Structure formats: C-alpha cells, structure tokens
Amino acid sequence: MHKRISASKQQEYDIRHQLSPAEQLKWDRKQAAKKSADAYRRRREQLRKRHERDHALMAAVHTIEDTYGSIADAPAGSPEVTAVRLIVDAQPAPAKPVVTREMAMYYRTYKAIGDQKRATKALGIGIQTLRNAIVAVEENGGLGK
C-alpha cells in the first residue's frame, strides 16, 4: 500500500524532477520525431494498400472489358461487377437520412414552438431546411433521448 504524499511534498518532488529548458526542448523534439515517424509509417501503409487495391481494381476492370466489351455493357449483378464493388468497398446508400446536430436542434425548436413558420423565423433558416430536418428526425424514429 502506498502512502499519500502531502501536496507540498508532491510540489517539491515535481520541482526537483522538472526538466531544464534544454532537456525539455530535447524531449519535445524526440516526441515530435516519434510522432512524425509514426505518421510516416501509417501513410506509407495506406499508400501500399491503395497501390495493391488499384492493381486489383484495374485487373477486374480489364476482365469486365474483355468479357463484355465495356463496363457500361456489363450487367449490374454479374460476378465481375460485384468483384469491382467489393474492391472499392462500394456501400449502398443508407435507407434512412442522417440526422445532424443542427437538424436535431431545428427539430427541438420546432417542437417547442409548434409552428413551422414561426420556428423558421426564430431559427433564421428557410422552411425547406426545417422540413428536411423534421422528415429526417421522424424517419429515424425521433431523437431518442
């Protein structure tokens, strides 16, 4: 079990073990170099993955062109087109609209006021913006406090 140190003793310890300005600068530079090296490694890995993906994508596109003559002529459900979609991670559009913070705020204000026209005046936005926010929130089942 550790003994508690009084605040003054802790302060003395901190002062005694504080780095000199030169040591602090050296430590900061070392940390910046580590951070930069990590960022470089991450970026290099991203570029390597992108390079591999681009080669796979071009091979899939060439397969489609060899088989169907053109990408536009390929049927949407064909295995080649599916392969291209998997390579580029094509996600289908979300079924429900996304509710942003602003939309949630507009919706709350509208509910508090109860009238769309007055709510738009109070918020300083257009009626269509408010209606889009109302539709988005209600299609997502409300704000779900």
Half-sphere exposure of 64 (CA within 13 A, CB side): 22
Hey, what are 108's tokens? 């709350």
pLDDT at position 142 over 70: yes
For CA atoms 36, 39, 45, 46, give the dihedral sign.
Answer: negative
Task: Give the pLDDT of residue 5.
Answer: 76
**Under 8 Å CB-to-CB from 126, ≥6 apart: which residues?**
120
State pTM to two decimals: 0.42
pLDDT (tens digit per residue) in 73-127? 888 888 888 888 888 776 666 667 778 889 999 999 999 999 999 999 999 999 9
Rounded to whole angstroms, the Cα distance separating 86 from 3 reads 59
Rounded to whole angstroms, the Cα distance separating 102 from 47 reads 35
Angle at alpha carbon of residue 47, lines to 44 and 50, rounded to 5° = 150
